[in-house]
Amino acid sequence: MRIGVDIMGSDHGPVVPIRAAALAAQELPEGVRLVLIGDAERIASGLQEAGSDPAAFDIVPSQDDITFDDNPTRALQAKPRSSISIGFHLLKEGKLDAFASTGNTGAMLVGSVFSVKPIAGVIRPCIPSVVPKENGSYGILVDVGANADCKADVLSQFGLLGSMLAKHVYHIAEPRVGLLNIGEEEKKGDLLRQATFELMRDQKQYRFIGNVEGRDLFNDKADVYVTDGFTGNVVLKAVEAFHDLLEQRGVHEPFFDRFNYENYGGLPVLGVNGNVIIGHGISNEATIKNMILFTREVVESRLNDRIREALI
């Protein structure tokens, strides 16, 4: 297995991802090799400083890397030697089994759609997030930012993509899928939510349990919560802000500590022909290490193959 890691996408510069790669390599089993994409000299020296042998990694040089201020579509076209562009090229050519980055999220999403492309039958790829539950388990919220405007068939398919992630990566045997709405009743919500409810109720590919409210995000009512990317992103940012506020006030209750995104590292773009993992730009070395370890789990789950099989 070969996992590509974007070394140039961190808010902290290449030092943090290099250290993270060194830490991850210590925990990865034999047969998993990390391909580090970025400033070759800094990668080699950084690995040595971290106590790792650069020869134990593949180092692919990049230049003119994409920043967070760059327009995603234009940057991918104008910067073919950037770490993100090279990562997608290697993934598309089959020289990587997965590509992980904490870089420009828009560029990662655009690269996913226009480079490795959506799986046949997927209307729109989406980005999920993990939601901690009060009983110690986890839920999946999808979408959290890739698709601000959605139609009913798109949201209904998000239910399938989210349930596949919950089942094959998080090992939930029969995921319960709920539609995030302003009430539990069948006719609640705007016209989009009402139309989506009808489609989700009639499909046979996953277990739809009906509408769920925001208050149900952290209890055990559902395993997958479906919404549009606009709403999902607002929910995600509110949860992250709540965690940060508690931390600033010195509150360290175990349940609320699980809201820390650093525990999860990154999550896959669902519905594309390649394992693409996106993490936070502000991630520390432990977070990026977790992202790399999680990437291996996604590859081993054969998630994309499972999605293809479900859409035949």
pTM, whole model, 2 decimals?
0.92
Residue 301: its H or E element: helix 285-301
Instruction: Say if residue 163 is in the same domain as residue 278.
Output: no
Is 125:113 a contact under the CB 8 Å cutoff? Answer: yes
Instruction: Say if residue 52 is in the same domain as residue 108.
Output: yes
Q: Which of 278, 276, 280 is nearest to 260 (CA)?
A: 280
The confidence score (pLDDT) of residue 18 equals 97
Instruction: Say if residue 90 is in the same domain as residue 192.
Output: no
- Residue 308 domain-assigned (yes or no): no
Long-range contacts of 129-134 (CB under 8 A, 24+ apart): 129/232, 129/236, 129/267, 130/264, 130/267, 131/217, 131/218, 131/225, 131/239, 132/218, 132/255, 132/258, 132/259, 133/218, 133/219, 133/220, 134/218, 134/219, 134/220, 134/255
The confidence score (pLDDT) of residue 261 equals 66
Low-confidence stretches of the chain (pLDDT beneath 50): none
Instruction: Say if residue 109 is in the same domain as residue 71.
Output: yes
- Residue 312 domain-assigned (yes or no): no
> What is the CATH number for 279?
3.40.718.10
For 278, the domain range is: 1-122+271-303
The confidence score (pLDDT) of residue 12 equals 87
The confidence score (pLDDT) of residue 262 equals 66
The confidence score (pLDDT) of residue 263 equals 67
Instruction: Say if residue 178 is in the same domain as residue 220.
Output: yes
- Our count of domains for the chain comes to 2
